[in-house]
Structure 1
Amino acid sequence: MGTTVLVSHPCEAVCLVSINRVERRNALDAATYQQLSNTLLKAERDDDVRVVVIAGEGAHFTAGNDLEDFFRLEGAASVPGIDFLRLLAGLSKPVIAAVEGYAIGIGTTLLLHCDLAYAGRDSTYRLPFVSLGLVPEGASTYWLPRLAGSKKASDLLLFGDAFTAEVALEVGFLTEMVERGQALKRALERAETLAALPQEALRLTKRLLLDHQREAVGQAMDVEEQAFLACCASAEAKTAFDAFLKRK
């Protein structure tokens, strides 16, 4: 198994986690999810790491789930991507996303569980679950109506059309939009600032921001996961996957 996650420390107390499947536009398979989870756990336990930044190697953040991997999910007890999102949502340290190019599917929903997100102006987002015979994940059915309102949430999740960084910023997926190619630079600047702040107060503030909704988010993830697994085993999803793979 190759290394599909790169880890570096570009500035003091900051851990940069980079998805490295450039030839697949950083699409995420089970092995990559496991590497991401292991890396985040290590960063969480490392006293020398105060802030985590997640980015993608090459031109794209991530094209989402590797659909070829989905054929192995039938009969599975859990979804690797959702296990990763649970871990991400539970980290005590600040997590910042740096987005360029595609942020599709889970590449969009994982932003809901990052504390901050900076993105290039021409980055592209999409939640194409229904068109693939699936349901949304990552507590997006909980978060999106609260961030964007029920009508906009329905528009994004039911149609699954691509949307721009401007829309992502307006909805609440992003903290700030920057010029193309500048997302990682901006994310690292802000990470360095956070890393220099009083750490106990920083983590306590993050906990206070999230604790009152943690149970509801967890319940939403659980319900979505069961529906997701049921859909993965359906003839409808298999037909949609086959059609998608033939178009590639």
Structure 2
Amino acid sequence: MSETVAAGIMQITMNRPDRRNALDRASYAGLIAAIGAAETDASIRAILLTGAGGCFTSGNDIKDFAIAAAAGQGPRAAIDFLEVISTARKPIVAAVEGFAVGIGTTMLLHCDLAFAARSATFRLPFVTLGLCPEGGSSYLLPLVAGSKKAAELLMLGEAFNAETAAEAGLVNAVTEDGTALEAGLARAKALAALPPESLALTKMLLKRGAAQAVAETIATEAKHFGERLKSPEAMAAFMSFLKK
């Protein structure tokens, strides 16, 4: 769901609250289309990304993933989204409440600014699901968090809080519960008020040094991720998850 919420600002909301905004193939298609629309609309200066119902996103819809894996389709929809968000020219601000799991955390590495409510919960459960990192996280997370913290978060796959997310460089600041969107909107308004060509150039220069490595990492991770989806470890983890 996307809408213009202030002059120059498009808010994109992940909106499956009954599934804690878990992302299926239709969700990814909607996100890709919304970012594309913002990128081509000259009146839009900044993108604000959030989730409905007090939750950012619980990550990939495991049931949809299992169906895609069984059909041999792999994680293509998620990879397409990651390629789009990682190469967006306009600034993206994220506002996190509730859960930010899996891709809900890794996508923050591609947002320019991010704010999280104090009670927000983050997790990178790829190994526990028999999978591997995605979204360029195996490259970007060590870059922003340091190799030891990145290993802890990606290898153990344990839940962590907003303060840890801030310390790891995933978010700019921690807000009081219920105010992450307000904080994100305030920063999006500040960005939207700036000269757009200068802002776009600055974003490009900030990302230029790592752009090729990020693209290559996303592609390499995707290859291994697709292989892991078919693995006995992943299938067992999916079946265990779906029985809950």
Task: Output the TM-score relative to the length of structure 1.
Answer: 0.96
Work out whether residues 121 and 180 of structure 1, in 8 Å CA contact, stay in contact via their aligned partners in 2: yes
Partner of 2:192: 195
Measure how far apart 1:165 and its partner are. 0.2
Partner of 2:145: 148
Q: Report matched runs for 1:77-116 at 5 Å.
A: 78-116=75-113
Matched, 1:135 2:139: no
Which deviates more, 115-124 or 147-156? 147-156
Runs of 4+ in 1 over 4 A off after TM superposition: none
Measure how far apart 1:78 and its partner are. 5.0
Quick one: distance in 2 between partners of 1:194 and 1:148?
A: 25
Matched, 1:20 2:9: no
Q: 1:47 aligns with which of 26, 42, 49?
A: 42
Cα 1:62–1:129 shift into 2, 3 Å = same
Q: Percent identity?
A: 47
Work out whether residues 74 and 229 of structure 2, in 8 Å CA contact, stay in contact via their aligned partners in 1: no
Quick one: distance in 2 between partners of 1:192 and 1:226?
A: 38
Partner of 2:26: 31
Number of aligned residues: 242
Work out whether residues 128 and 160 of structure 1, in 8 Å CA contact, stay in contact via their aligned partners in 2: yes
Quick one: distance in 2 between partners of 1:79 and 1:134?
A: 15
Work out whether residues 119 and 162 of structure 2, in 8 Å CA contact, stay in contact via their aligned partners in 1: yes
Work out whether residues 95 and 114 of structure 1, in 8 Å CA contact, stay in contact via their aligned partners in 2: yes
Partner of 1:246: 243
Quick one: distance in 1 between partners of 2:68 and 2:24?
A: 11
Task: Output the TM-score relative to the length of structure 2.
Answer: 0.97
Q: 1:8 aligns with which of 3, 16, 25?
A: 3
Measure how far apart 1:77 and its partner are. 6.0
Measure how far apart 1:192 and its partner are. 0.7
Q: 1:117 aligns with which of 114, 134, 139?
A: 114
Say what the alpha-carbon RMSD is for the aligned residues: 0.9
Q: Report matched runs for 1:198-209 at 5 Å.
A: 198-209=195-206
Secondary structure in structure 1 of the residue aligned to 2:36: helix
Work out whether residues 14 and 49 of structure 1, in 8 Å CA contact, stay in contact via their aligned partners in 2: yes
Work out whether residues 124 and 165 of structure 1, in 8 Å CA contact, stay in contact via their aligned partners in 2: yes
Secondary structure in structure 1 of the residue aligned to 2:178: coil
CA deviations on 1:193-219 (whole Å, 9 max, x unpaired) are: 111111111110000000111000000
Q: Which letter does structure 1 place at the counterpart of 2:166?
A: L
Q: Runs of 5+ in structure 2 lacking a partner?
A: none
